[in-house]
Amino acid sequence: MKSAIFLTLLLWQTITTPEPADPHYFRYQRTITLPTGPGQSCAVLDPALFPHAAPSLKDLRLYQDNREIPYAITLSEPQQPDSDTATIRNLGLRGRNIVFDLEMPNRPYTELILDLPAQDFIATATVSGTRDPTYANQTRLGEFTLFDLTSQRLSRSTTIHLQETSLPYVHIELAISPATGTHTLDTSPQALQKMVQSVTVPPSREAQSLYTTAAEATSITQRGRQSISTFSLPERIPIERISFALAPNFKANFSRDVSISDHPIATANPADSLGETLAGTILRVHLTQAGREIRQERLSVPATLGSNMQSAATVEVAVNNGDDTPLPITAIRLEARQRKICFDAPAAQPLTLFYGDAALTAPQYDYTRLFSPSSEFHTAKLNPEQLNPAYRDRPDARPLTDRHPHLLWVALLIVICILAIIAIRSSKTVHH
């Protein structure tokens, strides 16, 4: 009886271990050409690699002379990814101008975003900074134009663009007046005192993300009042920004709402095929009003799409023109944050990057855990994708019961028969 139960458990349980990497089981490969000289080298991973690699790039393996080389994958991102809030002090009026001081976060910064609830205004912000908490010995940081041109169907900007600095105290004097042709701005002392609600400090521009083009469309169609471009996006390609290119001779001002939608293709769950829709705005304002020059341009929209999922998707980008003439868009680009594979190769000869083996788990390298990006790294070149000429199918590593499920039922029937025979014999022995 014990033998029968042991046989059943043996068939039921199969202990599996992670599959080892073997260059013969990778469908795809790319060579990486190294620069001369020792040290850390990095190559940019282009988005076309993602559809053929396993999710999260867990099957990437790097070889040189049949020796596996440890690596780390980097993702371009701001060193300080979140915005902070500056503390407003001494808010008041100097004549008709708003004056206030800011206590800044303890880090470098390049922009200040003022929360101004007013509309249809032009403002000049005179900015200075200091390390002295008494605001003595101030350094002039510049004079900047802020605006809201909502009634002119243009945009607004309340961002002060600075050279990177880390001064802990900032003083701002804000002269504000109605935009040309408008009379809705309340410039009474009571309203001016409430004009500045808060000040946000984004990550420094010096530490912003770099992007790589994943797909580009140069054919833009018109549908009603929208300019439309459609992309067929392979599975697993990460998209994190949409950017627009305009004809070089187009100099007009504009503000356009943009909608981005994605619809997964051939998903197992019908609910996943509903997709999602994101929104943003692109704009350009180059003009002079009330004697002040305004220069503002934004030709990209942050958009982390659900098409980063495990299926192909159709992505539609629509620019809403309203009653205005369609923009002369020459290209729309889907972009991913730049990813690099970094390593220390023992020799300067080329390496081979293998991928396309879904049976592998992510490698565990000490190199990855201890990796620190170097500003002195060498730029390596990732060459075009090729099929692995030595590829062969990996043997079926599934448990025996998964490959032949009927064997389990046969084993159970055998056990039942054995138990029945034992029971009958035991019953006869009792009767005798």
Token pair listed for 169: 């105290």
Residues 427, 367, single domain; the answer is no
Number of domains in the chain: 4
The per-residue pLDDT for 88 is 94
Query: Is position 39 within any domain?
Result: yes
**Going by DSSP bridges, is the β-strand pair 121-130/211-217 parallel, antiparallel, or unpaired?**
unpaired
Q: Maximum Cα–Cα distance for the chain, whole Å? A: 119
Token pair listed for 279: 């929104």
Residues 237, 329, single domain; the answer is yes
DSSP character at residue 65: T
User: Got the DSSP string for 178-240?
Assistant: EPTT------SHHHHHTS--EEEEPPPGGGPPPEEEEEEE---EEETTEEEEEEEEPTT----
Residues 321, 383, single domain; the answer is no
Cα–Cα distances in Å, from 96 out to 3, 64, 126?
Answer: 96, 70, 14
Residues 343, 333, single domain; the answer is no
Per-residue H/E/C for 289-345: ECCEEEEEEECEEECCCHHHCCCCEEEEEEEECCCCCCCCEEEEEEEEECEEEEEEC
Residue 101: count other Cβ atoms within 10 Å of its Cβ: 18
Token pair listed for 385: 């994708």
Token pair listed for 150: 């909502």
Helix 2-12 and helix 406-431, axial crossing angle in degrees, nearest 10: 170
User: Residue with structure tokens 């002119």?
Assistant: 152
Cβ atoms of 353 and 32 closer than 8 Å: yes
Token pair listed for 326: 């369609």
Query: Is position 27 within any domain?
Result: yes
Q: Residue 121: which residues within 8 A CB-CB, separation 6 or more?
A: 146, 147, 148, 176, 177, 178, 179, 185
Query: Is position 392 within any domain?
Result: no
Residues 119, 142, single domain; the answer is yes
Token pair listed for 141: 């940081």
Residues 31, 65, single domain; the answer is yes
- Burial of 190-200, coded b for 16+ CB within 10 Å and e otherwise, reads eebeebbeebe
Q: Residue 15: which residues within 8 A CB-CB, separation 6 or more?
A: none
β-sheet bridge partners, residue 334: 215, 242
β-sheet bridge partners, residue 353: 30, 62
CA distance 240 to 9: 49
Residues 181, 118, single domain; the answer is yes
**Going by DSSP bridges, is the β-strand pair 378-379/40-45 parallel, antiparallel, or unpaired?**
parallel
Residues 94, 38, single domain; the answer is no
Residues 247, 285, single domain; the answer is yes
Query: Is position 123 within any domain?
Result: yes
Query: Is position 18 within any domain?
Result: no
Residues 216, 312, single domain; the answer is yes
The per-residue pLDDT for 2 is 41
Cβ atoms of 278 and 303 closer than 8 Å: yes
Cβ atoms of 334 and 242 closer than 8 Å: yes
- The conformational region for residue 429 under phi > 0 = left, psi -120 to 50 = alpha, else beta, is alpha
Query: Is position 424 within any domain?
Result: yes
Token pair listed for 377: 């790294």
Query: Is position 236 within any domain?
Result: yes
Query: Mind listing the pLDDT tens digit of every residue in the chain (432 residues)?
Result: 444 333 333 333 333 345 678 889 999 999 999 887 677 899 999 999 999 999 989 999 999 988 999 999 998 866 555 788 999 999 999 988 999 999 999 888 889 999 998 888 989 999 999 998 888 888 899 899 999 888 888 888 899 988 888 899 999 999 998 887 777 788 888 888 889 999 999 887 655 678 999 999 999 999 999 999 999 999 889 999 999 999 999 989 999 999 999 888 865 454 555 678 899 999 888 877 766 677 778 899 988 887 666 788 899 999 999 888 999 999 999 999 899 999 998 888 899 999 999 889 999 999 998 888 776 788 999 999 999 999 998 876 666 666 667 767 777 788 888 887 887 777 766 555
Residues 314, 234, single domain; the answer is yes
Residue type at 82?
Answer: D
Sign of CA dihedral 80, 82, 83, 87: negative
CATH number of domain containing 239 = 2.60.120
Q: Residue 163: which residues within 8 A CB-CB, separation 6 or more?
A: 110, 141
Q: Residue 185: which residues within 8 A CB-CB, separation 6 or more?
A: 118, 119, 120, 121, 176, 177, 178, 179
Q: Which domain holds residue 238?
A: 209-337
Query: Is position 176 within any domain?
Result: yes
**Going by DSSP bridges, is the β-strand pair 139-148/67-68 parallel, antiparallel, or unpaired?**
unpaired
Residues 226, 312, single domain; the answer is yes
